A and B are shown apart, each in its own frame.
Chain A
């Protein structure tokens, strides 16, 4: 395959960036999207140009490190992570635009690399159960109904990649937050801190500069783990309960 790539290049956080055009040829449809970028980087290196910076780590769709906006779609046209997207999803001769996640809360570090530290800070605000090591009762002390355990697991599948924010017209992180709140709210272990958690996390979310939710569901459509919008409803419900004091 031969492709034309329009890729965002930005030297650093305070530099202005622009889309640059590159051509790649002899791309195998079996390559992953990131391997295609590896090929481009080898070409650039050989020509004496600095390679394009992009994040990736596990390359098997679970660590959440990778994430590119590919022709206007977070993680590209398939419902998966960028690292698991393969070139057979594209046509020979296609022009592909590659941009970093765009959100003020995710500032660009370089080229396609963004800083998602805001997600860590939202978790720090309350995305945990306060239990010290060694203070735990026997694992069978509290049975958890299977439907609750299953929904908690479904929500806990979030990989924190940020595609929801990238795809959201408001750059909102409600799906990310809803997933964590739902994970912990469904479990008995999450109950004692339930109200304080949701208020604190939502407060941090707003402080980071994410937008509000318009319930259009672009986040769920972009989510590589298919986390449904109803987790945001659980988040809203918990916040409304907290409003009552």
Chain B
């Protein structure tokens, strides 16, 4: 007897909620890799101005002469932008499907809040990302009234130090990193689950642990430089 199957299973599979989730997981993993590298670069600030600025310059000359100046950096940027678009597209589509899947809400709720954290945390991180890029990449402006001018703008180390000497700016950063940690602690596990890497109880527990470890490393690694600056350990 006939079995109901699609004539193009791969095409059907791509359209499904799980297809979207796989997109989200793949792009998420790109971000996890990127933030770990980014964190490593930030920690260069502990080595002083030269160490940090050399690293920043190296990012641009990496791949020369095969690639033009800043070529690899642009490749990375394009990958990141595409990932961001894919990640956000999948997230908002699934968010909207989920909203439609339960139009009548419960009067009494006692369900997990982590989904809401992921969604609103993700929106917050997106806003922070805009702010962060404007501040350090696109406009390169200093929020520190005492330190202004081209010498600050053109010296990555000076810009960073000047910015994090301002408490409110550091506070925004700390909040963002805490949000990022929450996002990644679930997101790292979730990506592995979505990709089907957690199909045994052992792998499942391991994936949970990896999520927590990544989150802890990220929050600590990213907060050391700005807090060191704020408290005057780096000048």
Contact = CB atoms under 8 A, between A and B. Distances in A.
Given A167-B111, A203-B12, A126 B199 contact: no
A236 B22 contact: yes
B97 A243 contact: no
Interface stretch (A23-31, A36-44, A56-64, A227-235): A227-235
A239 B13 CA distance: 7
Contacts of A193: 3
Interface in A188-245: 193, 195-196, 198-200, 202-203, 205-206, 209-218, 221, 228-230, 232-240, 242-245
Contacts of B130: none
A243 B98 contact: no
Contacts of B20: 212
A215 B189 contact: yes
B111 A200 contact: no
B35 interface: no
Specify which of A169, A205, A215, A235 lies most central, judged by the most chain B CB atoms within 10 Å of its CB.
A215
Nearest to A221: B112
A86 interface: no
A132 interface: yes
A112 to B, nearest CB: 13
A72 interface: yes
Given A195-B9, A211-B97, A211-B101, A19 B196 contact: no
A25 to B, nearest CB: 22
Contacts of A65: none
Contacts of B6: 196, 199-200, 203
B83 to A, nearest CB: 18
B94 A212 contact: yes
Contacts of A202: 13, 16-18
User: Interface on chain B toward A: helix, strand, loop, or mixed SS?
Assistant: helix
Contact of A212 (B1, B97, B105): B97
A232 B108 CA distance: 27
Specify which of A69, A71, A195, A240 lies most central, judged by the most chain B CB atoms within 10 Å of its CB.
A240
Contact of B21 (A97, A200, A236): A236
A171 B193 contact: no
Specify which of A6, A99, A169, A171 lies most central, judged by the most chain B CB atoms within 10 Å of its CB.
A169
A184 to B, nearest CB: 13
12 contacts: A72-B109, A73-B110, A200-B5, A200-B6, A212-B94, A214-B98, A215-B186, A218-B112, A230-B204, A233-B197, A233-B203, A243-B14
Top 10 nearest A-B pairs by Cβ distance? A237-B196, A72-B110, A211-B101, A170-B98, A212-B17, A211-B98, A171-B101, A72-B108, A97-B108, A215-B190
Interface of B: 1, 3-6, 9-10, 12-22, 94, 97-98, 100-112, 114-116, 118, 186, 189-190, 192-201, 203-204
Given A126-B3, A213-B18, A217-B112, 5 more contacts: A102-B105, A199-B12, A209-B100, A230-B199, A233-B203
